[in-house]
Amino acid sequence: MIKRLLKLPGIPNAEERASKLYNDLLRHEGRIGGTLFGPVPKGTHREFFCLDEYTWVWHEEWKDETGTRKVRNTRYNVRPDGIVKSQNGKHYQRLSDREAVRLLEAAKSYEKRVTSELYQAVA
């Protein structure tokens, strides 16, 4: 199955195919994660995904009431001494206990949904 997936037409290099597949899967996971907290409003783009073993990302784009495009990127880094977050590339701040619990619940829901909706056929 994986060998068939890695034979993507138009991409001759195995490393490029693997990179494209990884990026496509990550985008798909992000779309699934973006719906964890309810439907995504029309005109809004929302993603929530696990970037690596220690990093979670929440990305949202929308237009405000004046039609101005807004973007919010929140990056959560799991560290041995706790979880910190950065919004739109600004300084990191420690999560409150309540927010850490909510992130843990979101991560569990994400894993369950992504596994059942995307990877169940592969497992």
Would you place residue 21 in the very low, low, confident or very high pLDDT band (cuts 50, 70, 90)? confident
Look up residue 59 and give its two tokens. Answer: 């990305």
* Contact indicator for 44, 62 with CB cutoff of 8 Å: yes
Number of structural domains in the chain? 1
pLDDT of residue 12: 67
pLDDT at 106 over 50: yes
Choose among 32, 70, 91, 44: nearest CA to 24.
32
The share of the chain scoring above pLDDT 70, in percent, equals 88
**Range of 114's domain?**
2-119
What average pLDDT does range 30-34 have in this prediction?
94
User: Is residue 76 helix, strand or coil?
Assistant: strand
**Residues sharing a CB contact under 8 Å with residue 112, sequence separation 6 or more, in sequence order:** none
pLDDT of residue 1: 44
The position carrying tokens 């990884």 is 22
